[in-house]
Amino acid sequence: MNKEITKDFTAYLDQWCGLNYRNDTLPGFTICVRKKSDIIFSQAYGYANLDTSEKMTTKHIFCAASHSKTITAVAVMQLKEVGKLRLDDKVVDHVEWFSSTADKRIADIRIRDLLNHTSGMSRDSEECDFWKLKKTFPSEKDLKKYIKDATLVQEVNHSFKYSNFGYSYLGLLVEKVSGEKYVDYVAQHVFKSLGLRNTYANYDSDKTALYATGHTGDLFHRKRQVLDHVDTRAMSAATGLCSTAEDLSCFYSALELGTKKLLTDTSKREMLQGYWVSNESSSERYGLGVDMEVIDGEQWRGHSGGFPGFVTITMSHPLGGYAISICTNAWDAHSYNMFQNAAKILNKFVDAIGKPTERLRRFEGVYHSESSVINIVCIGKKLYAKGPLGWSNFGGATELSYIDEATLKIQKTNLYGSVNEEVYFTFKRDKVKSIKYAGITMTPLEA
């Protein structure tokens, strides 16, 4: 995108986020969009804490949960590059207690099997009320005790079977092989390497004031409750990461080929292979600590994270060089839907042809009636109308054509829509006072 189209995209994205926040029940969220190493959009909406009415900022830190898995995978690949391990090594070759008296297959699990979730291990064990914050997260001692008589729930290397416990053991593997605590290793070799100043491998109680507060879901319209931050202890390699949208987008941008950051391109290619189908109903695949999905025919890759009170997602687009990160502080937030539609909006502007003209720009705006909202926006030399609410992208957008200085024609739209009908504008001092959209009167929506 050139500078003008980029400016139009960020203006629309800000408006889209703001409108949907007003129409949603989310406490707050942040979003960052990068083009390679450069931030082109970073904004915060709503509240970091509903109880105190603390406003959200782009510097607030969120529990990024399973984003930890990509960090852990990078740590493992770094140790592989310096010859301290091989991906096809058995875990027990490095962590001598990683075996079970109840299931001999556990001793055959390779490092690779843990990385791509094909170890056959339980997701979180049979006792996982720590996710309800009713008990503490497992310690290293707890993980050692669990594995002694654990049994697999499916065969090793059979199919994708997500496991937080699997990545927790990878964190202990990193400690054993590197000789450093997991949190210290990634702080030095990942965060410091990239200049990530607001990223931590686990919750740091000394920095509580910097954190956004998590909230319960809006289940059955119950009042949201604030949630305490917790230490994920020995599960930090699976779910402990705390960060900002700006730092997360920086990290995933650095994982793209050719950046000469964190890993060699050879290691990155191995991480970024879509080894296993991770969702049978979609195009999602999983590599080594990296999730992949096709949007508008092109691959995006990154990770999401869900933690009590937080839902986050960060994905990068290798062909375009873009990365999008969205961090929310509610347990029921639809961050994935927000990301997917933000990515489709980005694609619409990336594909823009020509430059907007002032003749078309005068019609731009957000208009509403008692029952609906539409946004009329220039994308390149074309003018579109689209309802933005529900985190909607430009799929099914109506294309408008210019008739005269006060009239547009509905050119292309859903066949159930008002194709070939007209939109009339009433101006006052060069500002739109009202419109008649296919016979329905609408007025500009105040900010």
What are the tens digits of pLDDT across the range 146-183? 999 999 999 999 999 999 999 999 999 999 999 999 99
Number of domains composing the chain: 2
The HSE-up count of residue 226 (CA atoms within 13 Å, CB side) is 14
Instruction: Please check whether residue 414 lies inside any domain of the structure.
Output: yes
Q: Does residue 379 share a domain with residue 274?
A: no
Of 430, 356, 391, 390, which Cα lies nearest the Cα of 8?
356
Contact 174, 182 (CB under 8 A): yes
pLDDT value of residue 447: 61
Instruction: Please check whether residue 11 lies inside any domain of the structure.
Output: no
Instruction: Please check whether residue 338 lies inside any domain of the structure.
Output: no
C-alpha 342/C-alpha 129 separation (Å) is 34
Q: Does residue 385 share a domain with residue 281?
A: no
pLDDT value of residue 110: 98
Q: Does residue 301 share a domain with residue 440?
A: no
Of 213, 214, 211, which Cα lies nearest the Cα of 244?
211
pLDDT value of residue 414: 83
Element (H, E) at 272: none
Contact 106, 98 (CB under 8 A): yes
Q: Does residue 426 share a domain with residue 288?
A: no
21: amino acid identity, one letter: Y
pLDDT value of residue 409: 97
Q: Find tokens 């926006």 and name the residue.
A: 377
- What domain range includes position 179? 27-332
Q: Does residue 294 share a domain with residue 388?
A: no
Contact 106, 150 (CB under 8 A): yes
Q: Does residue 318 share a domain with residue 284?
A: yes
Structure tokens belonging to residue 97 = 């207690």
pLDDT value of residue 203: 97
pLDDT value of residue 200: 98
| Residues constituting the chain | 447
Ranges under pLDDT 50 in the chain:
none
